[in-house]
Amino acid sequence: MASVEDQVVETSGNGNGTAAVAADQIPVENPATGEVIAHVPDVSAAEVAEMARKARAAQPAWEALGFEGRGRVLKRMQKWVLDNSDEIIAVIRSETGKTYEDAQLAEISYGASAFGFWADNAPKYLADERVKSANVLVAGKKLMMRYKPLGLIGVIGPWNYPLTNSFGDCIPALAAGNAVILKPSEITPLTSLKLLEGLKECGVPEHVFQVATGRGGTGAALTDQVDMIMFTGSTATGKKVMAKAAETLTPVSLELGGKDPLIVLSDADLERAANSAVYWGMFNGGQTCISVERVYVEEPVYDEFVAKVTEKAKALRQGAGDMGTADVGSMTFPPQVDIVERHVEDAKAKGAKVLVGGHRGKGGGYWFEPTVLVDVDHTMECMTEETFGPTLPIMKVADAEEAIRLANDSPYGLGASVYGKDVDRAEAVGRRLESGAVCINDSLVNYTALELPMGGAKASGLGTRHGAGGIRKYCQQQAIVVTRFAMKKELYMYPYKGRNTKLLGRALKFLYGRGKRD
């Protein structure tokens, strides 16, 4: 079987702009123009099985390199990303429609950080741990907790961040000593193939990391073949992945949908709050799982805050030009534009006002204007369903209590943010929010702190990425008990004797029967 990257058909750049394409090829579009720029294979279940066989054969040697050997490869890859950043950004932009700055900040900076982070921290997070026990049955024995790589990890990535949220989940899995098969979104597969080139150049052994391009069937086939699945995407698809994994009792980690609230308290620095709301609401075209999707503002500062947001949103430049020429890019996934338009129209029909934007783009590509909505409430889809687009609905609330209640009135709980000059009060509000992460006087930056766990509450996911848990999930915890010095036979062993049983009963009462009980 030819490798996936050898089967990519570059559509653009040919003499007549076309190429012979097999029936099992998937077109990849530039969403800024609607032009088909390449085709990639729709990998079959049989091909996935063969990839898994090769990965399992290659994995033991990769594990045997140890943390130091694997770390050297990851550190080389860290430099490769920086040395080839412009080329990588060009590939990312070609299949996502991002601005140059969005790709640089959210993708390149993450990759450059993550390779070094996991190379440095994998030995610490996965080191053998000595465990102490109060149980007399193991007194004098050595108790250890070991983290052993699971073997073969399957990663199913999303289309909004093909490096950060797709390829990025492969880095700790590799650092732990696993082989990895990545199934990128069929919408944005080219970035993963580009990074595969880099890993090969940097010394990752053949078949330790592979890319299986394809549609949903490829992902389902991958779930059947691996020892663990990491999935990032919608809650609806996440449920399907979990159900499929249940057939083989394959462990899963899921980062799913979000509807992240931003709360503006009456004592907030409104200039910073407005800048943050506009930036983190429109960043990457609003196509970020932890983007600001709804804003709650205490009544005394509502009008001033809305005025500031309106002014800043009107000044946004939307386009696909070179660095420094555009703030907001195109959307990436055509059906997502329909969802954004539906949410805006639903809000308008129910009484909301559009202060900025509100329309999809005309002409080629998949565009929607940066949009600010007011007079919104929880009868509207824009406040209750994940929009995943460049919209910012703002709702007036009487006080912090109402803001907390409304913020928690959601099936999602991925991230949240609170703005207020009384930091203790703002933090107290944040601690009452039902979300996996909360930022005070900031938004989303928790994702850049790789030491912190990143995961969701409620329907926003299962498990975490980043931090110790972000690499330990790719391992099997193995308990080890070492007995160095012991009698030929323990008192509790066969044959049972009444005298020994009584001694043990007295010992249990002495150890566990003392102390107050109320």
Sign of CA dihedral 284, 8, 171, 235: positive
- Cis peptide preceding 495, ω within 30 of 0: yes
Q: Which of 437, 441, 471, 430 is nearest to 454 (CA)?
A: 437
107, 255, 298, 369: the catalytic one is 255
- DSSP-assigned states of every residue in 367-436: -B--EEEES--TTSHHHHS---SSEEEEEEESSHHHHHHHHTSSSEESEEEEE-SSHHHHHHHHHTS-SS
Provide the residue type at 299 as one letter.
Answer: E
Q: Which of 102, 225, 88 is nearest to 155 (CA)?
A: 225
Question: Which is it for strands 415-419 and 260-264: parallel, antiparallel or unpaired?
Answer: parallel
Contacts of 9-12 spanning 24+ positions with Cβ under 8 A: 9/38, 9/39, 9/40, 10/37, 10/38, 11/36, 11/37, 11/38, 11/39, 12/36, 12/37, 12/38
Is 289 known to be catalytic?
Answer: yes
Is 451 known to be catalytic?
Answer: no
170, 289, 382, 475: the catalytic one is 289
Q: Which of 28, 122, 34, 142 is nearest to 75 (CA)?
A: 122
Work out the angle at residue 177's Cα, subtended by the Cα atoms of residues 173 and 179, and round it to the nearest 5 degrees. 65
Question: Both tokens of residue 160?
Answer: 């909004």
Would you call 36 helix, strand, or coil by DSSP? Answer: strand
Phi-psi region of 211 (alpha: psi -120 to 50; beta: other; left: phi over 0): beta
Residues in the chain: 518
C-alpha to C-alpha distance for 155 and 409, rounded to whole angstroms: 31
Neighbours of 63 (CB within 10 A): 18
Q: Which residues are catalytic?
A: 255, 289
